[in-house]
């Protein structure tokens, strides 16, 4: 858990001194912004930890009501559009959101993750992955592998956030 705490701290450090407007800026060719990256990482961590507690059904909450991953793969325009909009908004700071609020939510997710992992008796315990176009049929994930994925995702996005920060005002978190 120390590696995850270190990656989280690196991500949050990229926003120190930014105001809400700067935290929502997308200064590169993509749509990424520092605050949106924190939102995305919090959501990803929360989803994967929910998976570890409740199994594959816990990950279907990301889909529009009544839509399965198979529906999305087959794709009617309405379902795909709704899912893409929700997913894209996970990377942005929306009107009314503040950097302090985004960080507070991330800290709440982190605290729940710490509690959940502390209560897991076996890091080798597995759940089948939900059916989705990007998961191999019948694949499973252990708690340990999910944690490694969350650590990697957090560290990767901390690097993205550092580039964004340097582009916004010339500063970096290091």
- CATH number of the domain at 63, please: 1.20.120.450
Is residue 22's pLDDT more than 60?
yes
Number of compact structural domains in the chain: 1
Inside any domain, residue 174? no
Q: Dump pLDDT digits (tens) for 113-132.
A: 999 999 998 999 999 988 77
State yes or no: pLDDT of 152 exceeds 80.
Answer: yes
Q: How far is CA 173 from CA 18, 21, 37, in A?
A: 11, 18, 15
Mean of pLDDT values over 10-32:
95
The answer to whether residue 48 is domain-embedded is: yes
What is the model's pTM? 0.85
Asked whether residue 59 is assigned to any structural domain, the reply reads yes
**pLDDT of res. 37:** 96
Question: In angstroms, rounded to a whole number, what is the distance separating the alpha carbons of residues 117 and 52?
Answer: 9
Dist CA 12 CA 38 (whole Å):
7
Percent of the chain clearing pLDDT 90 (strictly above) = 64
**pLDDT mean across residues, the chain:** 87
Q: For residue 4, what pLDDT is reported? A: 96
What's the domain range around 87? Answer: 2-169
Q: Cα separation of 147 and 144, whole Å?
A: 5
160 inside domain: yes
Residue range 24-66, pLDDT digits in tens: 999 999 889 999 999 999 999 998 998 888 888 777 555 556 6
Residue 127 within a domain? yes
CA proximity to 135, closest of 60, 54, 35: 60
């Amino acid at each position: 858990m120390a590696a995850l705490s270190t990656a989280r701290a690196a991500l949050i450090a990229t926003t120190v001194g930014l105001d809400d407007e700067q935290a929502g800026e997308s200064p590169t060719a993509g749509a990424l912004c520092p605050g949106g990256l924190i939102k995305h990482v919090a959501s990803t961590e929360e989803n994967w930890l929910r998976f570890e507690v409740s199994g594959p059904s816990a990950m279907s909450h990301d889909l529009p009501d009544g839509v399965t991953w198979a529906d999305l793969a087959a794709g009617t325009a309405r379902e795909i559009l709704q899912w893409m909009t929700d997913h894209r908004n996970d990377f942005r700071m929306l009107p009314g959101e503040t950097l302090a609020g985004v960080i507070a939510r991330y800290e709440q997710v982190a605290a729940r993750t710490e509690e959940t992992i502390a209560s897991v008796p076996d890091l080798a315990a597995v759940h089948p992955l939900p059916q989705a176009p990007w998961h191999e049929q019948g694949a499973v994930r252990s708690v340990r592998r999910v944690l490694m994925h969350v650590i990697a995702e957090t560290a990767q996005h901390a690097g993205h956030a550092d580039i964004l920060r340097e582009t916004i005002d010339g500063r970096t978190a290091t």
